[in-house]
Structure 1
């Protein structure tokens, strides 16, 4: 009734024929908002599906889906085919650096609109990870406005050089227009550049004096649940062996510029 008197379902069926509230006698019928039931529904809390990965939040039952779409503890998968590790983005980074000893770089970025940051990374012939801490409007890194992005720079040997492809690893990976809360491929723009051989003239039979190359491309987003995407589906930044300096034979230094809309 309008006074928010409530009864259980069996009693409600028995009293329906009377058309009146059992407590105050006011006529019932139609729809009336019931604050008592709203508070009851809000009080029903459940465990987050990602509790096993470290989430301690207990969302309201009706809000389970919304929470799962933004939970920072949602799992990502290890990119190694022989490894079955599954964990949060932070746990994955610790796993990759601690267990596999893959290179991991970290950087902090601050902007009011799009993320626009530059860093130099020495990429070896394995998986290379870049963790970008994005703080909006210059707030502290502990602010709720701070977001983290994890990128995988995959360096693979090719017959005439090496290819670098980039992936954004995110537990809520999505494609444009899917309605998920994760970043989409058209939001993540990468710019890679490589410079080598800065010499005044050719020497020791080497004809290259200076080489510079740059590419800007969209980076795909994935939680790696289906493994690494096919190399053919990702843009590959090709660095020919003929322009790689002797000091870069084992690991090349590339400059990374990230744009996040």
Structure 2
């Protein structure tokens, strides 16, 4: 009986030992499998990187740095303009735009074969520079290839005070404050598509209008035309002509006691940075107010009525996609 108990105790001890050993072998096997899976994942990632090239961080959440770089490195060897993806390189290491490969092939004897520069694509697509109008309030960083387009439309592009002897320059918003404080020119907020009545401005006396929706600045100024007076309207904004006009206006002058005598004009509102001073009559559309309306027998002051409308393109640009869909559903 004692011998049988001894065998049973020994078997139990062997069973515990075998179980511990089995569990240990199982844990080691599992650890090896996990290590192999990690190694396979690393190899797979390396293979994938070899196929697609190095990964480039392009989000604004990644660390950003300011660097100085030779401008020529970001320009096409053929058209000499900023590079835009996709970028290619010929056998002579000349970097060119996609559309310049044919032209460059006529100039470079080693341009028979081109290689796509995926790494350079990522650089030129994300390299940004500060707007040149930063001193006037623009805090934008713009992709280098799009700098020209941004500066052409930048709302902070500086304009000049048209008053002779005043050399003040600033963005339209800053210039508006200058008009109101440094010169005795009245400033009036106007609603688009609604008429506003003003006194016909006297020589060297302007009236400043501000759009209620977008705070665009308009200058209503006079200029002499013989014995009469010409009145013109410009949008105070740099970098634009009639082709980029975002507004149109209607001007008319009448005397309240005599509605039969009235002059009217409708035109686009041209942009002006006012660098040449007050707009002259020959610089665009203007409304001529004849002496008969300026000096009525009754002594009444003629009233200038003005209505400014936003152009269809400007309205469509400012509308959000949701607003457009709502209009379609109505």
Q: In structure 1, what is the equivalent of residue 209 of structure 2?
A: 130
User: Which residue, 195, 198, 205 being the options, matches 1:118?
Assistant: 195
Larger proportion of strand: 1
- 1:247 deviates by 4.7
User: Which residue, 245, 248, 254 being the options, matches 1:195?
Assistant: 254
Q: In structure 1, what is the equivalent of residue 236 of structure 2?
A: 169
Distance 1:130 1:55 in 2: 23
Relative contact order (alpha carbons < 8 A, sep ≥ 6): 1 or 2 greater? 1
RMSD of Structure 2 on Structure 1 (CA)? 3.3
Q: Deviations over 1:97-122 (max 9, x none)?
A: 1101211111233xxxxxx3322223
Distance 1:244 1:238 in 2: 16
Query: CA distance change for structure 1 residues 49 and 121 in 2, over 3 Å: closer, same or farther?
Result: same
CA contact (8 A) 1:49 1:68 kept: yes
Residue 49 (1) aligns with residue 132 (2): yes
Distance 2:178 2:115 in 1: 54
- 1:50 deviates by 0.2
Query: CA distance change for structure 1 residues 197 and 259 in 2, over 3 Å: closer, same or farther?
Result: closer
CA contact (8 A) 1:102 1:127 kept: yes
Residue 86 (1) aligns with residue 169 (2): yes
TM-score relative to the length of structure 2: 0.52
Distance 2:274 2:297 in 1: 31
Q: In structure 1, what is the equivalent of residue 157 of structure 2?
A: 74
- 1:2 deviates by 4.7
Larger proportion of helix: 2
Distance 1:31 1:58 in 2: 30
How many residues matched? 203
**Unaligned residue ranges in structure 2 (runs of 5+):** 1-49, 56-72, 74-88, 94-112, 312-330
CA contact (8 A) 1:77 1:86 kept: yes
Equivalent residue runs for 1:14-29 within 5 Å: none
Distance 1:154 1:214 in 2: 17
CA contact (8 A) 1:153 1:166 kept: yes
Distance 2:227 2:275 in 1: 31
Larger Rg: 2
SS in 2 for 1:117: coil
CA contact (8 A) 1:167 1:222 kept: yes
